[in-house]
């Protein structure tokens, strides 16, 4: 069956939030950790739910750390965040061609909305599944299953696009096709190891893959 539905992760896939995330983690860790963290260590925190990452730094102070992180993240959001090259044009093209489009992210809804509005992506997706909407985050299939349900779509006709291992694993767990993005900050070989169906070097390649 051909692809009719495309689901996207947000951070690191459609919009570049990497330096914002790293800055927010660094700001938080400086206050709550008994040691500094190297950039490479912080990269491992990108992707999973915030609570999971911060609990590894100081499990006794997770709630305070979340508040500190989010305050820094929101205050500095618009200085850092931008869409990756070709993303807005590609999404508009796919929407015009009739594809069902959705976002599946481990972020909270308020910061998701900030990113979509800032980058000109707001209103282009029929469903946006955030961490607020599910009990189980990616790589559990629940967020993808929920998005497909909202779009009245089947896994067999869907593609999950993401920059992180849990994006590819979630798609595989839900039974969709998967596409990694070579611009992932963790290095494309991390995704290659999971054998996604496609590896994008530029978002516009989606138009060719889907036969548009």
CA atoms 48, 104, 178, 154: torsion sign? positive
Question: 9: which residues sit within 8 A by CB, 6+ positions away?
Answer: 103, 104, 105, 138, 160, 161, 162, 163, 164, 167
H helix runs in the chain, sequence order: 18-32, 39-43, 50-55, 62-80, 87-96, 109-119, 142-150, 165-174, 188-192, 205-209
Tokens in use for 21? 């995330």
Strand-pairing partners, residue 203, are none
Find out whether 35 and 57 touch, Cβ atoms under 8 Å.
no
Tokens in use for 28? 């938080």
Catalytic residue among 9, 11, 163, 167: 9
What span, in angstroms and rounded, lies between the C-alpha atoms of 176 and 166? 13
| Three-class DSSP category at 26 | helix
Find out whether 125 and 117 touch, Cβ atoms under 8 Å.
no
Find out whether 179 and 199 touch, Cβ atoms under 8 Å.
yes
Assess whether 9 carries a catalytic annotation.
Answer: yes
Positions marked catalytic: 9
């Amino acid at each position: 069956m051909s692809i009719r539905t495309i689901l996207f992760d947000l951070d690191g896939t459609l919009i570049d939030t990497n330096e914002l995330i790293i800055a927010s983690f660094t700001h938080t860790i400086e206050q709550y950790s008994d040691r500094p963290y190297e950039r490479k260590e912080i990269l491992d925190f990108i992707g999973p739910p915030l609570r999971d990452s911060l609990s590894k730094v100081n499990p006794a102070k997770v709630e305070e750390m979340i508040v500190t992180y989010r305050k820094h993240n929101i205050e500095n959001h618009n200085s850092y965040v931008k869409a990756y090259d070709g993303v807005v044009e590609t999404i508009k093209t796919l929407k015009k061609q009739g594809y069902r489009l959705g976002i599946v992210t481990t972020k909270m809804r308020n910061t998701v909305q900030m990113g979509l509005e800032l980058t000109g992506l707001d209103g282009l997706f029929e469903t946006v599944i955030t961490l607020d909407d599910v009990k189980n985050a990616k790589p559990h299939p629940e967020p993808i299953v929920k998005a497909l349900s909202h779009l009245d779509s089947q896994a067999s006709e869907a593609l999950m696009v993401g920059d992180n291992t849990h994006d590819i694993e979630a798609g595989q767990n839900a039974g969709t096709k998967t596409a990694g993005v070579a611009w992932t900050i963790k290095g494309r070989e991390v995704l290659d190891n999971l054998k996604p169906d496609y590896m994008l070097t530029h978002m516009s390649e989606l138009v060719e893959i889907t036969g548009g």
